[in-house]
Amino acid sequence: MGLAVWVEDEAGPDQTVPYPGESWQPESQPVHQPHEYIRNGTAKMLTLFHPAGGEVRVKGVTQSTNAILHPWIQQQVMEILQTLPEQPILDEETNHQMWKTWQQGLSVRITLPEKLPPLRMLLIWDNLQGHYTPELVLWLFAHGVMLLYTPLGGSWLNMAESIQRILIRRTLSGQNPQTPEQIIAWLEAVARVWNQDPTPFEWGGARAARRERSRTRRLALGGSGACVLRSSRPKSSLLQKWQHSCQLTQ
């Protein structure tokens, strides 16, 4: 429907401990991690992810209270909206119906304001209590952002968790951070590098295409649901020989 879809999630906490992983080292000189360490705090990662383009917006924090999370979300949403094309102006009834379309089938619906701007963006996130704060919800509505909570948007939220795993693995694999601030700096640096050449997340993608090609190469067997890689029917030449032999014996 021409709407931008973004997914928000929080990852962590990540501790200041040695992390297992591979690294490039001279042969026979592996990296040695200390067997003793001091827990010196944790870091979290606030994440906004755009699956269609692969862009990720990240902020490292030591805690994700509403006082920290809400201003960051508002700032990022404002920056995202500035990059989106303006939606056409619709009459009030049609515009309200477009918003209500995204609540069809829900057992619990958010009460929409009477006056709504043109719908420009879908924001998908989990059921964190802070995501229901009336001030934040009304602010997002006022800026043309429709909210979808899990489990309705669970599959989209999984994409945010996937990009978080990628970034955290690239950041901490084989490392031994000493402070939460060090983890935060690394996470944000890895996110900046990712955005230089982001990878879009697609439904299905190459893996689904391989599965589809594999299915087309198999031949289904009636009754059992099993498949074979080659036909179980006799070849025409063998069938003709068998029919010819039957005629000779009659």
Domain boundaries in the chain? 4-196, 218-249
User: Would you state the structure tokens that stand for residue 93, as one six-digit string?
Assistant: 């009834």
Report the CATH fold assignment for 4-196: Nucleotidyltransferase; domain 5 (3.30.420)
pLDDT by position in tens, the chain (length 250): 678 889 998 987 888 888 777 777 788 887 777 777 777 889 999 999 998 889 999 999 998 888 999 999 999 999 999 988 877 777 777 877 777 777 776 666 777 787 888 888 889 888 888 888 889 988 998 888 888 887 655 677 888 888 899 999 988 888 888 899 999 999 999 999 999 998 888 777 667 777 777 767 766 666 666 777 665 565 556 556 666 666 666 5
- Please state, in angstroms and rounded to a whole number, the distance separating the CA atoms of residues 73 and 150: 18
Residues 6+ apart with CB under 8 A from 178: 16, 40
Q: What is the DSSP string of 131-199?
A: GG-HHHHHHHHHTTEEEEETTTTHHHHHHHHHHHHHHHHHHHTT----SHHHHHHHHHHHHHHHHHS--
At residue 173, the pLDDT reads: 85
Whole-angstrom Cα distance, residue 238 to residue 247? 14
CA–CA dist 41, 14 (Å, integer):
9
77 Cα distance to chain centroid: 18
Q: What is the structure's pLDDT at 178?
A: 86
Nearest to 95 by CA among 209, 207, 164, 1: 1
List the structure tokens of 79. 């920056």
3-class state of residue 247 by DSSP: helix
- pTM, 2 dp: 0.73
The encoded tokens of residue 158 equal 């999984």
pLDDT at residue 196 in the model:
93
Give the pLDDT score at 234.
54
